Structure 1
Amino acid sequence: MPHYGWAIAAQTAERMSTTHYQQLVEQLKPIVNDPDFDAIFNQLTTGEEGAVRLQLKLELQRLAAPCNRTVDMRSKTTNECKAVEHNGRTHYLDPVSKIIFERGLNTYNGIFTQDTFEQIFKPDNPLRQRYQEEQEERQALQDANQDFVAAYPNAEADIDSYLVESFNLGVERHRHEERMNFSVDVTLATQKQKAIAAVTTDISLSGIRVKLKEACPINVEDSVIVELTGLIREFAFNEARPITYIVVGVEEVDGNVYWRLRRSEDEHLPEMDQFLTGFINGYKRRYKINVDNTEKTLLHQGLTLSFLPRLKRLPLFLNVRHSQCQAMYALATAANQAIVDDWRDDTNRFMINGIWRPHRVRELVEHGQLTLYCFSLIARGKRYFYSATPDELIKLDALESFLWVGQQKPSWRVYHLAYSPVDGNKALFRDSIPEQVDIASRRLAPSATTLGKVAQVNGMVVITNISDSFEQLADTDNAPESLEKVKLFAHKRSGFPATAPIMLSYTDIRQEHRFAFQTRCRISSNEIAATEALTVDISARGMRLALEQPLPLTKGENVTIDCYQLSQRHHVKAVTALQYEVVGVSADQSELHLRVFPNQAQHPGAKFFKRFIHHYKDRLTNNQSESLSSGLEVCLRQLYLTAPSSLPLFFTNKGRRWTLPLVGKSPVKTPWFNFLQKLPGSNDGYLNLQPLLRANALSDPLEPLLNHVCDDKAVTELLLFVHCTEHNGEWLLTTEYLRSSEHAKLGYLIDKGMLSGACRIIHWVFSPKAKVEAKELRAELTYLTQYAAHRADRIRETLSAVAAISDGCDITDSLLAIYGYNTAQRREAAQAWSHVLA
């Protein structure tokens, strides 16, 4: 029996065009319960018959009414249904129902309505039809690749079980202006087609998104003439005329075609700008601002913030010119600090720039990877570094002597270096909130000085320590005949600059404005007598000091500051014995960054400087320079995300049951990533991770490993060996997890993979997620909560559910070199892998 509401809709549609009726219903749904509903309703239905308007209003009120029924799809679909809690009621929803349910909550401000209930059970819902088509397509893909999928023991039959939702790392989703959800008729015209009917889905001052009834031939950057027919008719705006827009994107969602359009820069329409600005500001809380962009940014930023502090690989940011190279900065974390310490000389400088020899730089830039054997020794109180590639040692017949010396040193290391070109001008991260929106918790932009420094970066190397994969020599008692050739690989002690390690630490990111202000003061501690200093800048809860002489202070120490000159001039005693914590020390120990202790609620200095800054704000200069790491750190971590060589995974744990719901995709297309992209079902939004998840791998061996990682807060490494062979025209895939220390097994698998087919070895690091500082996400969370509080809650739940992270890096070339394969053989292996699934 049809719902009574559908009968009303049919009667109403007879009195007006079906398209116009549907537009009005969709446009008025979200504001049915608003105080201004009647005024807006009357404005939009001017000219309609009284009976039509009454029936339309009754239908809208019926659709927006709260629904107290429970949705249970378990007996109505063959798709998997999951329990969803809402307002104390448990619904059982399949994937399509869940999407409709969430869209309904978004439309009706978190209320489950009669409209949403009917949409879920509507038999001809286009979303359900599209989902069924996709299922049939995926089943066809599975059937076509049955031999490939069945290569695993006890392989799952459904490709969907291997598809993991993906997002792009390092993609900036900044929006210059607010967009409002608004549906109104428009008429489009292209060079090939005139009078194309369409409907807007959202509008902004300089752009619109339109939905077309059917696909039309169009390309990005094409011009489109747009006539805002609906605005002219409904709002009596007489200044409107056809406007030229540029196509910036074409997409298909749930069977509908959407064009994203940006107004041409040649169009100057002050009257239209004034009208749209007033219209959006006046109606945005009724029609709702489009916050999809902010929601995605918030989720992706939260995930990356939980991942980056656990980074065990060390990113180096390079300036490369021809065959010359300089590592300017390193992004250090607590997890990769050991690599930094390996390269500190006897004066505590980070001296990794000694590894850059011209032929190594050429090899690295051309092929994207390099293997280094390294060690150091101390003689006469000075530290000397040595490094060599396997090919160099073989060419100079120095392999035996170098390994004999190096492997006996505690400092012996084997590194895999992965190179990617980067653009230092892309280091500026901007939040997704439109610029004209006033949000107090925005992150301050880095200074021009900091951006100028980072702009010099044009390359990045990510270093992975793979020393455990190298088996020790069987005989270290008998020395080679000559050790002279080892000296060829010694680094010079001068002639190249030190690299600056910038510590990744969210807690030190500046959260308040600092102002340039100089006044004399004295600094002292329990170990140091009072020493003269000069303030460089101040804030309410911190300051920066320039010291007259270097002081041996370290981060975390407590100091006492006596601002005697300020006390004398302003006749106050509150600034004469102030306690601060050292949060940064310059390399030459001549500059300090200080802050009030985080747990100290009442601080006399903070109280005084807050009043002082407020009183003299017009005379003080806002100082946004960062001599240490605050702005530089933010730039470097954003720059890293534009070209990481690894693939981060995000694991959730509910009731000791582990799942893998999300994976981050790098813009760098490595052979390993390209292979995953070729697997059935992989697309822009999903990645097939069958090599990781075969044979219920999350149960064994990954589930026990993840439990260990989270229970013991341990960092664990695994190798994934992937072997592809061709059989009767189909590719069969075999995978195996093993520890780096299983040298005999690893050597056997490598030899087997090189003899037949193609192979890859992926190095995985598993660790518990890092705690995300709330202030890092505060701006987006505040903005999202204003317009869609339930979405903000959903983001919080998703981020809190992530319990462990892992990142995988392809180290095949380095392991092949370690196990004795020469350059030609390694190039041949890379070529063989490129043909897999081609």
Structure 2
Amino acid sequence: MTAADLQQYIGVIDRMKSLLNSADFDQVFSLLTSDLPKSKQFLLKMELKRMAQPCNYFIDLRGHVDGDVKPYDYMGKTHYMDENAVKVFEAGLKQYGSFTLGLYEEVLNTENNFRVMHRKQTEDRVRDALQTNTAKLAPLPDSEERSDAHYATIIHFGNYNARRDERMHYSIDIELELDNSAKRVRASTTDLSVSGSKIKLQQPIKGVIGSIVKVHFTGLEQEFVLGLADGVSYKVVDIDQQSNNTYWRLQRQQNENEQQFVEFLQNFINANKRRYKVNLDNVSQSMLSKGYEQFYLPKTNTLPVFIAVKNSQPVPICALTTDYNKAVWQYFLDEQHQAVFISICHVKRLKRLLQQTSLEMSTTLYSFTHAVKGKLFYYSATREELSESEALKELFLGFGSSKPSWRVFHLSLLRTNAAQAEIPSTIPEQTQAKTETGLSSLIKNFIQDIRYIVNLTDITGSDNTFWYQTYPVDQQKLKLLAQFGHKKLASQPPCEAVAVQYVNLRSESRYLYKTAVTISDNENQAELNGHSRDFSSKGFQLETVLPVRFQKGDLLLLNLPDMQKISSKYELQALPYEVMAVSKSRTIMNLRAAEGTEPHVGRLFFQQLIQNNRAKLTLAEESPKYPGLNVALRNLYLNSQHHFALYVHRKGIRYEIDTIAKGSTGNSLHTLLSIYSKDPAKLDVSLILQNHATSLQFTQQLKQMKRFDNPKPSELLITVSRLTATDKPNLQCRYDYEFSSEQAKQEYVLNALQHNVLFCYKLQLSRTGRPDTDFIAPELSYISAYALHKAKQLEEELWSVAGVIDAIDISSELPWRFGAKTDLIQNHDQRKLTLLAQLQQPVA
């Protein structure tokens, strides 16, 4: 859509639409814009070039517009549009000359589009609020008074509650002896185990955590001869007040004279645990944590790089890779395929991060590369490093963003230690299999020096890059950028890529194999040469020397000349395969055998090839160099990270967001949402769901996504009014798709930086597959043995997960993107630190 600040030039834009691909474009554009400032000319030309880009998207307005949607065929593709959209589409074809991105956006922004209607309503609401008072907004009512609260359960990553003994729900009368007093206090147990108990007091008593009490099991002594006239010593470990009831958690103290009582309790619990319910809360919670972790980790775009400290120097030794963060790993591989993280994560940079006092030790990392004589040189700078010189900042951002290798990363630093690499058992000891073992000595030696994890998340976007390109570049000063270049090291320490271990959702194994392939399509008989990267009986991954123009859904004919030499039984010519995916470089394609009425000859050939040569073939899934290392790194990462993740559950035909994941400490978004959340086990997410409008937005995206699709990005902006002595802060949120243009978003951001406190989060929506039941099998089996209905309920909860949203805090990147002045940013950052410090103070 046309930007708000370009509306006055709408006549120029409409005039130029028909000349977008014409040879007269530059001449006519110069004549029409000769009286405009260079900056406006630049913005207009960039907007027009963007609108002129060819578009291959399918238009599907089913469920998106207030109208009757029907199929519409154009250039061999079937779109689904209503009458209004068809009129806009056909009129646009005459203006643009073809199906372009500008035309696509016009069709998706008709007046009867539900998203457009909602955006206009939101804009009116925000405009009214801003006009009322832009400097200070009225506080929201307390959470208990809010009828639109929507609470989500919190799942704690890496938090496995291990118990040594089974706890049985069992109520029996007891008496407490406090401080060797002759007076006893009546109470009753609510659960009982060999090592402890939870008791309910029958009268209010002031207890002290850490004190020792004597427990007399009067109820048991009526049925059994215990011989415990002096009682049993217990330590008070927790006191919980619920309504009018007081509960104490007790831990039995070790005493050799009570061995007989220990044996009695063990036998008593074993004999009665089928009669009385076993407490499964801890095992159930651990099972859910592990299940949700296995949904999140394979979908993350964040690359964790593990830093060991050797001879007082940080050394990156490995990184945990997924299908979605491999692009970050590959970006930092030089011409010799060696990772350059030791240059990126150098001592000075890490020390500066460690000195931060904020909730999250993080920064923004800007990077680009330069190739000279076959060698690849890296240039990088953090936000703090560039802040030291305004001229260098503008030079680095302006020049770097013009390079194809330009990247913007969110970089955060986590503390860790080798002790966190092992998952504690989540099942009571007496039920564990005897074959369970810990980490091998090889793994322990490998990870023993790991002290930090550096998280790198690619937050580059085409819109971001456009804004950075507006920074002025003085070509005469480019030599000053040499100080940000990383020198080639004579000896580079090895850094391993370790793949995340999770459930394999492929229908069959793939095997690495390189063989010549010639490709042609039905329309163009010209052949293209390439080679296979891997294969299965049902498909191929092919790589070509030259970029291809094929799209998903195209039908290709493959010839396998080298394979034909070893097979006389099958005719390996003109084999039909369908394009399933094409890489960004347009040189790698995933193909699937196109089945017809007759068996596919290629599938039959490869089935026999695999069957006869399975032992000789190499699986595409690489075998780990250190078996078990991926699990150890997984545990280190999940025990340290502080990301915010939302889970989308499918319940019938509806999708709901009612579960949140939290790391060891959480991040600023957890803090903001907790302002009006009274229950510490839940968070009120009504702010970011916007009366379920956002849920519908995510739902529509999720319905159109496949499991292997790249995440759908969006940005969430939250403005917080300043705190006063009495008022609670007021929060307002907007999503990037609610802005009419990038220029409107810029105005909103600059205004918020001046008057309020601004937070911004990049949200990555991914579609999930089935749960990793192998990973939670021990917990599921244990729960099933005592409460089958409970196990089915937990399993159904995990099976209902349809998507996961990873939220990355990019608040520090946004002001620079939109060119905010240094003094404005400094004042805003100080207000932000003050706000977070106040929010994190315990409530009196």
Q: What residue in structure 2 maps to residue 692 of structure 1? A: 688
Q: What residue in structure 2 maps to residue 148 of structure 1? A: 139
1:480 counterpart = 2:475: yes
Q: Deviations over 1:361-420 (max 9, x none)?
A: 122112211111111233222222111124433535433443344223222101111223
How far apart are residue 322 of structure 1 and its match? 11
Mapped contact 1:372–1:414 kept (Cα < 8 A): yes
Mapped contact 1:312–1:335 kept (Cα < 8 A): yes
Mapped contact 1:645–1:809 kept (Cα < 8 A): no
Distance 1:812 1:269, change over 3 A: same
SS at match of 1:170: coil
Give TM-score scaled by structure 2 length. 0.64
Q: What residue in structure 2 maps to residue 110 of structure 1? A: none
Which aligned pairs between 1:645-794 and structure 2 lie closer than 5 A? 645-679=642-676, 681-699=677-695, 701-709=697-705, 713-726=709-722, 730=727, 731-738=729-736, 743-794=742-793
Letter in 1 for 2:485: A
Distance in structure 1 (CA, Å) of the matches to 2:650 and 2:335: 45
Distance 1:699 1:332, change over 3 A: closer
Distance in structure 2 (CA, Å) of the matches to 1:704 and 1:798: 21
Distance 1:682 1:319, change over 3 A: farther
Which aligned pairs between 1:84-95 and structure 2 lie closer than 5 A? none
Q: Deviations over 1:422-469 (max 9, x none)?
A: 2331221133111221548x8653213323433422222322212123
Q: What residue in structure 2 maps to residue 335 of structure 1? A: 324
Distance in structure 2 (CA, Å) of the matches to 1:672 and 1:577: 53
Q: What residue in structure 2 maps to residue 180 of structure 1? A: 168
How far apart are residue 182 of structure 1 and its match? 2.0
SS at match of 1:683: coil
How far apart are residue 826 of structure 1 and its match? 5.4
Distance in structure 2 (CA, Å) of the matches to 1:394 and 1:685: 40
Distance in structure 1 (CA, Å) of the matches to 2:328 and 2:685: 30
Letter in 1 for 2:829: R
1:326 counterpart = 2:315: yes
Letter in 2 for 1:406: G
SS at match of 1:774: coil
Q: What residue in structure 2 maps to residue 389 of structure 1? A: 382
Distance in structure 1 (CA, Å) of the matches to 2:480 and 2:707: 48
Distance 1:649 1:240, change over 3 A: farther
Mapped contact 1:244–1:267 kept (Cα < 8 A): no
Distance in structure 1 (CA, Å) of the matches to 2:190 and 2:810: 46
Letter in 2 for 1:666: G
How far apart are residue 321 of structure 1 and its match? 8.3
SS at match of 2:209: coil
Distance 1:387 1:322, change over 3 A: farther
Q: What residue in structure 2 maps to residue 465 of structure 1? A: 458
How far apart are residue 310 of structure 1 and its match? 0.7
Q: What residue in structure 2 maps to residue 379 of structure 1? A: 372
Q: What residue in structure 2 maps to residue 830 of structure 1? A: 832
How far apart are residue 704 of structure 1 and its match? 2.7
Distance 1:527 1:413, change over 3 A: closer
Distance 1:206 1:808, change over 3 A: same
The unaligned stretches of length 5 or more in structure 1 are: 1-145, 510-523, 529-552, 559-575, 586-591, 594-626
Aligned mate of 1:310, from 277, 292, 299:
299
Distance 1:788 1:160, change over 3 A: farther
Q: What residue in structure 1 maps to residue 615 of structure 2? A: 579
Distance 1:401 1:774, change over 3 A: same
Distance in structure 2 (CA, Å) of the matches to 1:403 and 1:755: 23
SS at match of 1:331: strand
Aligned mate of 2:408, from 414, 422, 430:
414
Q: Deviations over 1:214-257 (max 9, x none)?
A: 44323433322222222222222225642222223233456533
Mapped contact 1:554–1:582 kept (Cα < 8 A): no
Distance in structure 2 (CA, Å) of the matches to 1:166 and 1:791: 19
SS at match of 1:813: coil
Q: What residue in structure 2 maps to residue 166 of structure 1? A: 154
Distance 1:323 1:237, change over 3 A: closer
How far apart are residue 736 of structure 1 and its match? 0.4
SS at match of 2:683: strand
Distance 1:467 1:268, change over 3 A: farther
Aligned mate of 2:286, from 289, 297, 300:
297
Which aligned pairs between 1:188-337 and structure 2 lie closer than 5 A? 188-191=176-179, 194-238=183-227, 241-253=230-242, 255-266=244-255, 269-319=258-308, 324-337=313-326
Distance 1:651 1:497, change over 3 A: same
Q: What residue in structure 2 maps to residue 423 of structure 1? A: 417
Mapped contact 1:400–1:480 kept (Cα < 8 A): no
How well do the aligned residues superpose, as a CA RMSD in angstroms?
Answer: 3.6
How far apart are residue 629 of structure 1 and its match? 5.0
Letter in 2 for 1:148: P
Which aligned pairs between 1:333-372 and structure 2 lie closer than 5 A? 333-367=322-356, 368-372=361-365
1:450 counterpart = 2:443: yes
Which aligned pairs between 1:20-35 and structure 2 lie closer than 5 A? none
Letter in 1 for 2:747: Y
Distance 1:734 1:181, change over 3 A: closer
- Alignment length, in residue pairs? 594
Q: What residue in structure 2 maps to residue 497 of structure 1? A: 493
Distance in structure 2 (CA, Å) of the matches to 1:527 and 1:240: 80
Q: Deviations over 1:127-176 (max 9, x none)?
A: xxxxxxxxxxxxxxxxxxx953379xxx9974563221213222121122
Q: What residue in structure 2 maps to residue 99 of structure 1? A: none
Distance in structure 1 (CA, Å) of the matches to 2:830 and 2:309: 28
Distance in structure 1 (CA, Å) of the matches to 2:311 and 2:671: 28
Distance in structure 2 (CA, Å) of the matches to 1:505 and 1:555: 20
Q: Deviations over 1:248-282 (max 9, x none)?
A: 32334565332222222355522122222222222
Mapped contact 1:175–1:432 kept (Cα < 8 A): yes
Mapped contact 2:159–2:289 kept (Cα < 8 A): no
Distance in structure 2 (CA, Å) of the matches to 1:475 and 1:147: 37
Distance 1:404 1:387, change over 3 A: same
Mapped contact 1:309–1:770 kept (Cα < 8 A): no
Distance in structure 2 (CA, Å) of the matches to 1:347 and 1:240: 77
SS at match of 2:422: coil
Mapped contact 1:708–1:714 kept (Cα < 8 A): no
Q: What residue in structure 2 maps to residue 97 of structure 1? A: none
Q: Deviations over 1:464-521 (max 9, x none)?
A: 2121234345569976113212221121222552432221122589xxxxxxxxxxxx
Distance 1:805 1:525, change over 3 A: closer
Distance in structure 1 (CA, Å) of the matches to 2:722 and 2:472: 46
SS at match of 1:458: strand
Q: Percent identity?
A: 25
How far apart are residue 716 of structure 1 and its match? 0.9
Mapped contact 2:702–2:803 kept (Cα < 8 A): yes
Distance 1:477 1:209, change over 3 A: closer
Mapped contact 1:332–1:504 kept (Cα < 8 A): yes
How far apart are residue 555 of structure 1 and its match? 9.4
Which aligned pairs between 1:531-610 and structure 2 lie closer than 5 A? 579=615, 582=618, 593=623
How far apart are residue 739 of structure 1 and its match? 5.4
SS at match of 2:161: coil
